[in-house]
Amino acid sequence: MRNVFEAQVALARRAISPGSIDSAIGSQTRAAIAAFQRALQLSESASLDTNTRSLLTLGAPLLTNYTVTTNDLARLQPMGKTWLEKSQQSALEYETILELVAEKAHSYPLLIQKLNPGVTWTNVVAGTVLNLPDVRYSEPEARAAFVVIHLSQKFLEAFGAATNLLFHCPCSIAAKVEKRPVGELHVSVVAPHPNYTFDPAVFPESPEAQALGRKLILPPGPNNPVGVAWIGLDKPGYGMHGTPVPEQVGRTESHGCFRLANWDAEFLLKLVWIGMPVQVVP
């Protein structure tokens, strides 16, 4: 599995996201490999063939040490169970250190646990040193020229002015086909660390929402329903945004928006601009 793990980290360092890193070959890792192969004009096998594997071999260590800080611990908050309770919190922060460091490492929590078998996760103290995948997106050299969202394959890509790939990541799409817009949209709003307006009308399946019967403002935070970033589009109610559960991106469906892992939404913020075209294709 090391070959897959190394390839996932190598892809992520190139801003070609395989989804939450888990050291296993799945559909999102195959889509990332295919994006890498297209970008380099290789034969598109979507597999770790010999040539692709050699190009995704790392010269630097796969893992890095991360020391848990008092600031990390101070961020933690239990999550309210209801929409009303969430609206009354000071922030919608991480609940556990495992959740926090897994997002830092773009990884499944289970992988982080396997990399740190001696850690008691219910009692992590400041100064604890953890092994994490060494994943960091480099600062982009330029803004993107446009974004393309592929509905059937559930991924998003940003391209430069020369149609060069700048970014690839999985995304969730609307559960209902009629709520999946096709065609050209444009970025209308860019908001880091947004709050969230809870509207019961958007959640007809929720008895709690219908009983509440009024809108609420939920505070910012990684466990906010739109995560750490909101990129609004010029179709009312639609946008690209983060999520409190990155492991479910591309595996569950949304009410209509394009949902990304928080780390991918945060990176996309650096690429987009007001008025930028976003092509949604079937």
pLDDT given for residue 264 in this prediction: 98
Mention every residue, 6+ apart, whose C-beta is less than 8 A from residue 98: 109, 112, 113, 121, 124
Q: First-to-last CA distance in the chain?
A: 33
| Segment 213-225, tens digit of pLDDT | 889 999 999 999 9
| The two structure tokens encoding residue 280 | 């949604």
Contact indicator for 42, 52 with CB cutoff of 8 Å: yes
pLDDT tens digits, residue range 57-89?
Answer: 998 899 999 999 999 999 999 999 999 999 999
Q: At a CB cut-off of 8 Å and minimum separation 6, what does 174 contact?
A: 180, 253, 254, 255, 256, 257
Give the number of other Cβ atoms within 10 Å of residue 87's Cβ: 18
Indicate if the pLDDT at residue 244 is higher than 70: yes
Look at 214 and 100; give whichever has higher pLDDT: 100
pLDDT computed for residue 256 by the predictor = 63
Query: What's the pLDDT tens digit per position in 7-41?
Result: 999 999 999 999 999 999 999 999 999 999 999 99
- Tokens representing 175? 């559960």
Q: Are 71 and 97 in contact (CB under 8 A)?
A: no
Angle at 117 between CA 111 and CA 118, to 5 degrees: 145
pLDDT grade for 202, boundaries at 50, 70 and 90: confident
At residue 231 the predicted structure's pLDDT band, cuts being 50, 70 and 90, is very high
**Exposure on the CB side of residue 259, measured as CA atoms within 13 A:** 22
Overall pTM > 0.85: yes
Nearest to 134 by CA among 24, 6, 245, 19: 6
C-alpha span between 14 and 164 (Å, rounded): 13
- Which structural domains are found in the chain, ordered by start? 2-55 (no CATH), 63-133 (3.10.350.10), 146-193+228-281 (2.40.440.10)
For tokens 């591309």, the residue is 250
Cα 167 from Cα 160, distance rounded (Å) = 9
Please, where are the H alpha helices in 79-215? 83-87, 97-104, 109-115, 207-212
Is residue 145 left, alpha or beta, with left meaning phi > 0 and alpha meaning psi from -120 to 50?
Answer: alpha
Q: What pLDDT is stored for residue 217 in this prediction?
A: 96
Residue 26 φ then ψ, to 5°:
-135, -175
Cα separation, 15 vs 39, in Å, equals: 12
User: Sign of the C-alpha dihedral, residues 98, 101, 107, 111?
Assistant: negative
In which band, very low, low, confident or very high, does the pLDDT at 181 lie, cut at 50, 70 and 90?
confident
Burial 143-176 (b: 16+ CB within 10 A, else e): ebbbbebbbebbbbbbbbeeeebbbbbbbbbbee
Instruction: Report, as an integer, the average pLDDT of 34-53.
Output: 95
CB 255 within 8 A of CB 265: no
d(CA 26, CA 252): 15
**Tokens standing for residue 268:** 């996309």
Amino acid 282: pLDDT: 92
Q: How confident is the model at residue 255 (pLDDT cuts 50, 70, 90)?
A: low
